[in-house]
A and B are shown apart, each in its own frame.
Chain A
Amino acid sequence: MNRGGATWLYHAVQALVLAAVLGLWYFVSSRGLVSPILLPSMTASFAEFGHLLATGSYWPDLDVTLYELVVAFCIAASSGCILGYLVSRSAYSIRVFDPLFAGLYSIPAILLFPLYVLFFGLGAGSKIAIGATIAFFPVVLNTIAGFAYVEKAYITSARAMGASQVQMFTSVLFPAAFPVVLTGLRIGFILAFLSILGSETIASLAGLGHAIVTYAESMDPAKMFAYIFFAIIIAFLLNGVVSLVERRARRWHG
């Protein structure tokens, strides 16, 4: 198969698609074929985006979103790992709790958001709560899976060689479960970010999602597009950082 030879063609097509999208946007918005509220002019959107980056006016909203994300993730990661580890200690409790968590995971947790707004208010509290709830499940399920399916031969041989409880954990269980737990943490982090962004869109006082909605509702589409670009770039950056951390951790782990 001659894959290398056609790569330039694929990239050319991709560049062409991008150019076509931008060209169509420019053409349609400059001719006024679509309501400017839906599709602002391309030049104005890019100008707003440049302005946003240059002045740093995104900072208060980004700060709020990242704060919510970090707190939510820390809650989910610590509670998920601890609970998951405790459940994984006996085959019996795995059989009791694992299906329970898996079943709860299949309920879209965003449904709880109206309740959380009642309990925790419109501010950061309700976003932290929803992010932590959604991120908790992949962390706890992966922690259970990671610790539950450690090769039995490792455990038996470690025990035969007289490993203590602590040694068993640090040298056998933890290293074996680590990669699976790490995957759960990555999924949890991404889900927490997405749900925080989504819940900021629904009801909030500040944050990236809040900024997008504010400009949508004040009919300032160029600014809204600028914030949409910005949020998407932040999402890609966070994705990249998380993958990098995961790869580093795996390499350190060996």
Chain B
Amino acid sequence: MTARLSPGVARLLVIAGLVAFWEVGVRLWGDPLFLAPPSQVVVSLVQFAWNDPVLNALRTTLYELVFAFCLAVVVGLPLGLIIGLQRFAYGSFYPIVLLLYAIPQATILPLVILAFGIGTESKIAFGFTHAVFPILVNVVAGVQGLKPSLIVCARSMGASRRQILANVVLPHMVPSFFTGMRLAMTGDLLGVLLAELYVSQAGVGHYTRLFTESFEPQKLFALVACLAALAVFLNEMCRRAERRMSRWHD
């Protein structure tokens, strides 16, 4: 048996093969109104660097994503701590949270647009409603998963409530909080992009529609590639943070 390529190189070859197939296939059989070969997509990508409206749309989307995510953390973390730590709040409100989490949010998208308009606010709101529940649920799970013996132990050594919270409960909850943030970023992306695609004035949704309707697939592909890169970057950041923060207590 011959020596094998390392898996990483083989993976790159697979990707290169797919791209080559795409290029050749489109040039031979594709309809230029609907499909663009990768070489033209790259040309459009480079042109975007001088295209201020498209750059602004991408910047707006990034702003919506980050704003909604921060809002979800700011709201989800304290709410999750309250529901997770207070037995009464846990018993009465946690089932309600789980019920709301299970509702398919795409059904209320038109309602969100009606309430917040077609600008950035509605995207932030829809991203927020997608992102807040994973954080909330994971913070609650993190607090609830605490071993009672740890608390008993801390208390027997004379720790005050505040010390227990700061030194036992919060550090213990950090890994699942970061898991929640990673899932929240996935939800955030889904929410903001859904709302953008549904209706948009100057955001990326506007340009996807424009490029689709003016039959410029190379620009559409390039825009989708930009957004995919943005999404992968944000997801990867959250994943790295999660891995780093979950290391301490293994």
A interface residue numbers (CB < 8 A to B): 3, 6-7, 9-10, 13-14, 17, 37-38, 92, 95-97, 99-100, 103, 106-108, 110-115, 117-119, 193-194, 197-198, 200-202, 208-209, 212-213, 216-217, 224, 227-228, 231-232, 235-236, 239
Decide if B72 is an interface residue (CB 8 Å cutoff).
Answer: no
CB <8 Å contact, B194 and A202: yes
- Majority SS of interface residues in chain B? helix
CB <8 Å contact, A37 and B231: no
Question: How long is the Cα–Cα vector from A106 to B236 in the complex, in angstroms?
Answer: 8
Q: A residues within 8 A CB of B14?
A: 96-97, 100
CB <8 Å contact, B107 and A212: yes
**8 A–B pairs (Cβ distance < 8 Å), ordered by A:** A14-B95, A97-B14, A99-B11, A108-B189, A108-B228, A209-B106, A227-B107, A236-B102
Pick the contact of B11: A3, A96, A208 (CB < 8 A): A96
CB distance from A162 to the nearest CB of B (A): 25
Q: B residues within 8 A CB of A100?
A: 11, 14-15
10 nearest A-B residue pairs (beta carbon): A216-B110, A13-B92, A95-B7, A198-B106, A10-B91, A114-B208, A10-B92, A197-B106, A106-B235, A231-B107
Question: How long is the Cα–Cα vector from A106 to B187 in the complex, in angstroms?
Answer: 11
Other CB < 8 Å A-B pairs besides A14-B95, A14-B96, A201-B107, 18 of them? A13-B93, A14-B92, A38-B114, A96-B7, A96-B10, A100-B14, A107-B231, A108-B186, A108-B189, A108-B190, A114-B212, A119-B34, A193-B104, A194-B104, A194-B106, A224-B111, A232-B104, A236-B102
CB <8 Å contact, B193 and A110: yes
CB <8 Å contact, A197 and B107: yes
Question: How long is the Cα–Cα vector from A228 to B227 in the complex, in angstroms?
Answer: 30
Q: A residues within 8 A CB of B15?
A: 100
CB <8 Å contact, A107 and B232: yes
CB <8 Å contact, B106 and A201: yes
Q: When each residue 212-232 of chain B gets 1 if its CB lies under 8 Å from chain A and 0 otherwise, what string results?
A: 100001001100100110011
